[in-house]
Amino acid sequence: MNIFISANNTECGKTYTTLKLIKKFSKMGYKVGVMKPIETGVKDVPIDGKKLFEEAKKYNPLLENLTLNDIVPIQLSLPAAPIVAGEIDFEKIKISFNKIKSLCDILLIEGAGGIRVPVSKNFEMWNFLEFFNAKLFLIVSSKLGMINDFLLNKYFLEKKNINFVWSINLFDESYFEISHPFMKQFNPLILQKDLDKIAKKLIGE
C-alpha cells in the first residue's frame, strides 16, 4: 500500500505527520518505507528526508540497504515550487520508488507543499497519486485561515473524484474556539488525538 501525504499548504506538518505514521504503522506490525520524491531548499542534506529515513530505519532494518539519495531522489537548492526550483527527473523518482517499495508493506510518500503545487508544466503534486498508485492523506493545518484552505482543497478533490483521508494538525487549542464551530460539521479527526482511527482509516479497516 502506498500513502501520499500532502497538505493544504506548506509548513502544515507533513513531515511531523509522516514521522508519527512511521511509528504507528510499525507498531501495528507493518514494514514501513518512506520517500520524499522532491525536496526543495536543500543546502547540504535534505533535512526532512533525512528525518524520515532515520526514523524508518529504526523499525525496518531492510531500509539500511538504501541511501538518502534513494529516499529523496530530487534535491533542489531553491526553496520554491519544484517547477521553479529546477528540472524534475520523473524516471529517477520511479527508480527510487520501485527500489523502496520492494522493502516494505506500507510506503509513506511525503509531497512538497500543497496538493496543487506545480511540479512541471503539465504535472501538479496531486498527479503523484496516479504516478504512485497511492491513497491521499491530506493534512489540514489548524492555523487561522484553515477553513478557506480546507474548503478549496475539498472542492478540488471532489471535482476530480479523488478519495482522500484527512485530519487536522493541531498547532494550538485556539482552533476549538476559532475554527471548530464551523469545521465540526465535517467530523474532523485530530492528528494528536485520533491517530489510531486515522491509521485504521488509511489502511481501510
Could you say which of 36, 57, 135, 197 is catalytic?
Answer: 36
How far, CA to CA in Å, does 179 sit from each of 6, 137, 165, 167, 185? Answer: 21, 21, 19, 14, 11
Residue 44, CA distances (Å) to 38, 40, 75 in order: 15, 11, 10
Tell me how far apart the alpha carbons of residues 33 and 12 are, in angstroms, rounded to a whole number.
22
Residue 36 bears catalytic tag: yes
- Which residues are catalytic, by number? 36
